[in-house]
Structure 1
Amino acid sequence: MITSVLVANRGEIACRVFRTCRDLGVRTVAVHSDADADALHVRDADVAVRLPGAAPADTYLRADLVVKAAVSAGADAVHPGYGFLSENADFARAVLDAGLVWIGPPPEAIEAMASKTRAKALMGLAPLDRVTEADLPVLVKAAAGGGGRGMRVVRRLADLDEALATARAEALSAFGDGEVFVEPYVEDGRHVEVQILADTHGTVWALGTRDCSLQRRHQKVIEEAPAPGLTGELTAELHALAVRAARAVDYVGAGTVEFLVADGRAHFLEMNTRLQVEHPVTEAVFGLDLVAEQLRVAEGHALPAEPPPARGHAVEARLYAEDPAADWTPQTGTLHRLAVPDGVRLDTGYTDGDPVGVHYDPMLAKVVAHAPTRAEAVRRLAGALERAAVHGPVTNRALLVASLRHEEFTSARMDTGFYDRHLAALTAPAPDPYAPLAAALADACARPRSRFGGWRNLPSQPQTRRYAVGGEEIEVRYRHTRTGLAAEPTAPDGAGTTSAAPVQVVHADAHLVVLEAEGVRRRYDVARYGDRVHVGAAALTALPRFPDPSAQRAPGSLLAPMPGTVVKVADGLITGSSVRSGEPIVWLEAMKMQHVITAPVTGTLTELPVTEGRQVGLGALLAVVEETPAPHPSEGARETQ
């Protein structure tokens, strides 16, 4: 019987496993890097063991240190979670060799399926050994791991070498294995997968289907179960293929078989020999705790002949600290508050006040809704996300809400190209026109006033505040009157100074503002953290009255979009080099992804203050490109004569 489990992982998945272990009366052990010393999963565990360092290669990817931690803490079993070492056969063997219970499939099954190239060979498929124009587009893919790391779509042969190099670097950093391969890229397919659960007695369950088509950078954003719109015949085929893959390697435990579905056909992608991030939607539909089932299987218990019946529909959204409108750039900072309404499930590795750093994946939480029908589950999840309190770094929360309410998603006509088609529209600024005024009024209430109050006998200039929201600057005005604060007439969109619809201040204090305009009353909860102001679901930045001239940057300055490490500077580039618009200048690594910083214009590289290996902060100067003036039209005309 398992009595103590070490989770060889961090964050949300460790907290998830610990929750089940507590319910079962099982003692828990956490491992943590120095960056995670005060993380929620460390606080959740009964005991914790430090892995010195911060980078994954020095900590969570060190199988020897994790096994040593399990032994020293007195654990009798190891759960790998997902990511890091979860699909590493050598790690599984090391756990077993140490006399510990491995809560996962046999090392031989991991070895057969964890490498996507070997898995495809097992299923009678093969990657491309050479790429021609006729093969395009193709997908460069890491052989190990998952989560979108080490994946690049290539549409031009000229981009293949760069895509291979970047994918190898990402895969090596994230999984400790730089092997990549190339396969045809299926355009506009649906990403559908089957949850597998198998015991040591020969029973294999196919627990329905999941649709994970809404993806960015080949990493899932919204998942649901069951996958909508599949025929009974196609569903049966997917189940049969998944069970066949599991039986082919004598699989034991939880796993996922992934497919692309296009034109009514299923194309095998890979088998993930671990629990998936999106497993909660399957749990909700089948009424199971998959982690508890993993522990029971590891203890040798037999599964019933058939799984429980499926009920209803479940949808999960991944809440990321990232800016979708800025090429999904990861964000860092303090997560001041994270709370969702009752009625939905929240899986997270963060709590209020935790820092969001640069070393690991930017996922903050998973929010899951379950209901009798798909329409009800989607509506419930969208409403919960809209009302959630997410105070801190920029997140994809607004994108999630807009995606869930998009007609293509609500009608189940989505595919993996959803964000390629709709991202610009989904991230177009749509600020609440009254949120800046609510922020200003709450701030005015929070600031101490003189004992004579703010009211004056003679008219005076109104108070003004400026805020940045949705890429725009908005100015609002208000006055202190004998009866309290009053809004000055301003256009709701901030574009003018007069409005036909006056705004009445019904109530205002430091944390709550109630406004009424055109007979509609709106309530705003306000929270301030430095110059960052959260007003309901809106996030604003308070701007200074007098900008600091020293903060101005020269035109053509390339600034770090997030803290990270400079892993590469373009070969041969020095101050004075000529560069073309879009040409790569610097490669920055943060949150296990590489981000290419390119020249904004064609011109001359006038500054290059960074070198490979240097750590940089948010907004650090990486380079300056001075634009080359375009030739005068008459000069061009003379040249063509």
Structure 2
Amino acid sequence: MFEKVLVANRGEIAVRVMAACEELGIETVAIYSDADRDGGHVAYADEAYNVGPAPASDSYLDQETIIEVAERAGADAIHPGYGFLAENAEFARRVESTDGITWVGPSSDAMETLGEKTAARSVMESADVPVVPGTTEPVDDAEEVRELGEEYGYPIAIKAEGGGGGRGMKIVHSDAEVDDALESAKREGEAYFGNDSVYVEKYLDAPKHIEVQVLADQHGNVRHLGERDCSLQRRHQKVIEEAPSPILDADLRAEIGDAARRGVREADYTNAGTVEFLVEDGEFYFMEVNTRIQVEHTVTEEVTGIDIVRWQLRVAAGEELGFEQDDVTIEGHAAEYRINAENPAEEFAPTPGTLETYRPPASIGVRLDHAVGQGDEIGGDYDSMIGKLIVTGEDREHCLDRSKRALEHFEIEGLHTTIPFHRLMLDDETFVSGEHTTKYLDSELDATDLDAAVEQWGPDQTDSDSAGASATELAVEVDGKRFDVVVEDGLQQVPSGGSSGGSDSSGGVSGGSSGGQQTAAAGAVTAEMQGTILSVEVAEGEQIAQGEVICVLEAMKMENDVVASTSGTVASVPVSEGDSVDMGDTLIVLE
């Protein structure tokens, strides 16, 4: 077994890997960027090393520096977690070629084959696994995409070869949308995965998203650990995952599990991975392989009792899987709720801020994977995840009832989160019945329901709700009974001299202005969040209409179109592609 493992990641997944290492008696090494000096994964590790400034490209994606740190620390293995370099075959190959360091994951050759979606489709076809109709070679130009649209019929999906989690995927409904969608998919593929190659496939109308967890060792053993249902998605991003799926019967479950095993065996795959399928009208189609541990691996662990991360380490160390396929049994039901710093009432826009209150739930059936605490800052440099709430029950109904209790007792103040959305879903007939598909949230959920959920269950007050306003929480007793009350705009402070007048210490009238806050120029369109400018769509002197996209802003790994709030002529454009901006910074000025 390894003596010291460097975890090339951050946040909750880094802590999850470190916990498995700790149980195996392995020392751990954390890496961190300037933005993560006080990160939870840094505190958990046995030792930690700075790898660069906040931008991921200068830190968590710096392959050379990470390997240098591993050698400096004396690590004999590197675990990539998920995201960042986890599915980067080049990085895996560099680790494999470094003396004395083992890559905890599939071989770089298998990663390269299955990480390129067109090659993966070919492998699956060879293994007699059904695939969605589409190309097995990358597409290069818009005219080729239009021809495929005519062949398959719209809608079609343009997907980045190295993509995953919905990033680098654009849905095209007509010829007119092809050019913009192709450019955006290629741009996201390059930005997130360093590969602007894309392919095209038929977009199924209302599928279920079913994925199968696999483990394979270096001795020819391949096991699947059952399936997860990840159909509840928003803009192709999973938000609630559960195991097992509520819609598979025993025969279809066995067919999909066997197909997953055949596919990874055909690819000569080892370690942990996930084979993803789309299921519609009783038929299933291969979609992609994720050559890493996944965010939602937790629900599989809960219903099988198998520690997947622990087995990743043991397989990488050369051990043989210690169980047969028939030994894998599914007991009970588990669901994972991604607790993200996002505002569901504002199209799930990222909401960086401070965890002024952070009291997660506990008690029976509740697991929490996180790396934060009260007072921590949730910045905009990386993804928006705060943590993952995993709930288990005897069956799905029990699991959902228990989930209501857990989410009700999950207290977060200081920023918006997805908790109100999750609570809404647990009262949603379509989700509770298990009839939801990947299209449900984007096409059928009423936005007014989200507004009401945030109003009912969202934070009492956040910085973005009211500039300059404040609220104070107090506990008071009346006739021996405790009441929690909120005093809006703070408590009036009586100075020691006894006066209760409304002047501040400098003699000015308090509450009248925002003090040092900057005021944007008249006609300015400002950034609503911290992020990076991916593209600027307008130029000085250009006439634009209300609602027109002026730039694309990346925040917390999400592309956000910034639109003009009014018509006018572009007077100036103070930002350019690649610039970092803060909330309130001017993006363009209209006249």
TM-score normalized by structure 1? 0.79
Give 1:115's aligned residue: 116
Gaps of at least 5 residues in structure 2 are: 126-130, 492-509
1:621 counterpart = 2:570: no
Distance 1:248 1:326, change over 3 A: same
CA distance in 2, matches of 1:43, 1:228: 39
Change in CA separation of 1:403 and 1:554 when aligned onto 2, cut-off 3 Å: farther
Instruction: Mark the runs of 5 or more structure 1 residues left unpaired by the alignment.
Output: 440-466, 476-508, 532-543, 627-641
Q: Which amino acid letter does the alignment assign opposite residue 292 of structure 2? A: R
In the TM superposition, residue 95 of structure 1 has moved relative to its aligned partner by 1.5
Structure 2: how far apart are the matches of 1:522 and 1:431? Answer: 26
Does residue 415 (structure 1) correspond to residue 427 (structure 2)? The answer is: no
Tell me the residue number matched to 1:5.
Answer: 5
Q: Given the superposition, is the C-alpha separation of residues 429 and 95 from structure 1 closer, same or farther in structure 2, using an over 3 Å criterion?
A: same
CA distance in 1, matches of 2:430, 2:571: 47
2:421/2:454 contact within 8 Å kept? no
Superposition pairs of residues 92-491 of structure 1, within 5 angstroms: 92-98=92-98, 99-124=100-125, 126-127=134-135, 129=139, 130-132=144-146, 134=150, 135-303=153-321, 304-306=323-325, 307-343=327-363, 344-420=366-442, 421-429=444-452
- Counterpart contact for 1:431–1:469, Cα < 8 Å: no
1:116 is displaced (CA, Å) by 1.3
What letter corresponds to residue 135 of structure 2 in structure 1? P
CA distance in 2, matches of 1:526, 1:220: 35
The Cα offsets for residues 56-101 of structure 1, whole Å up to 9 and x where unpaired, read as: 2222222222111111111111111111111122222222221212
- State the alpha-carbon separation in 2 of the partners of residues 435 and 594 from structure 1: 24
Residue by residue, what CA displacement relative to the aligned partner does 1:558-602 show, whole Å, maximum 9, x if unpaired?
A: 32120122232215x214x22123322112122222211122344
Task: Please tell me whether Structure 1 or Structure 2 has the larger radius of gyration of its CA atoms.
Answer: 1
Matched, 1:586 2:551: yes
Letter in 2 for 1:305: E
Q: Distance in 1 between matches of 2:519 and 2:8?
A: 46
Quote the offset at 1:172 in angstroms.
2.2
Distance 1:262-1:434 versus aligned 2 partners, 3 A rule: closer
Kindly provide the amino acid, as one letter, of the partner of residue 529 in structure 2.
Answer: M
Deviation of residue 182 (structure 1)? 2.3
Q: What is the CA–CA distance in structure 2 between the aligned matches of 1:530 and 1:78, rounded to whole Å?
A: 50
1:258, 1:270 within 8 Å by CA — same for their partners in 2?
A: yes
Which residue type is aligned with residue 511 of structure 1? L
The Cα offsets for residues 163-211 of structure 1, whole Å up to 9 and x where unpaired, read as: 2222222222222222222222112211110000111222211111100
Runs of 4+ residues over 6 Å off in structure 1 = 431-436, 467-473, 527-531, 549-556
* In structure 2, distance between residues paired with 1:230 and 1:580: 49
Tell me if structure 1 keeps the 8 A contact 2:160–2:196.
yes
Q: Is residue 424–residue 453 contact of structure 2 (8 Å, CA) maintained in 1? A: no
Q: Secondary structure of the equivalent of 1:171?
A: helix
SS at match of 1:283: helix
Q: Is the 8 A contact 1:560 1:619 kept in 2?
A: yes
Please state whether the residue corresponding to 1:413 is helix, strand or coil.
Answer: coil
Matched-pair contact (CA < 8 Å) for 1:57–1:176: no
Cα distance in 1 for residues equivalent to 2:181 and 2:520: 32
TM-score (norm 2): 0.85
CA RMSD of superposed structures (Å): 3.1
User: C-alpha distance in 2, partners of 1:184/1:54?
Assistant: 38
Alpha-carbon shift at residue 525 of structure 1 (Å): 6.9
Deviations 1:439-481 (A, max 9, x none): 8xxxxxxxxxxxxxxxxxxxxxxxxxxx8999899x9xxxxxx
CA distance in 1 between counterparts of 2:20 and 2:436 reads: 34
Task: Kindly provide the amino acid, as one letter, of the partner of residue 536 in structure 2.
Answer: V
Contact 1:429 1:471 in 2 (8 A): no
Matching residue within 494, 511, 529 for 2:474: 511
Residues 207, 528 of structure 1: CA spacing in aligned structure 2 closer, same or farther, 3 A cutoff?
farther
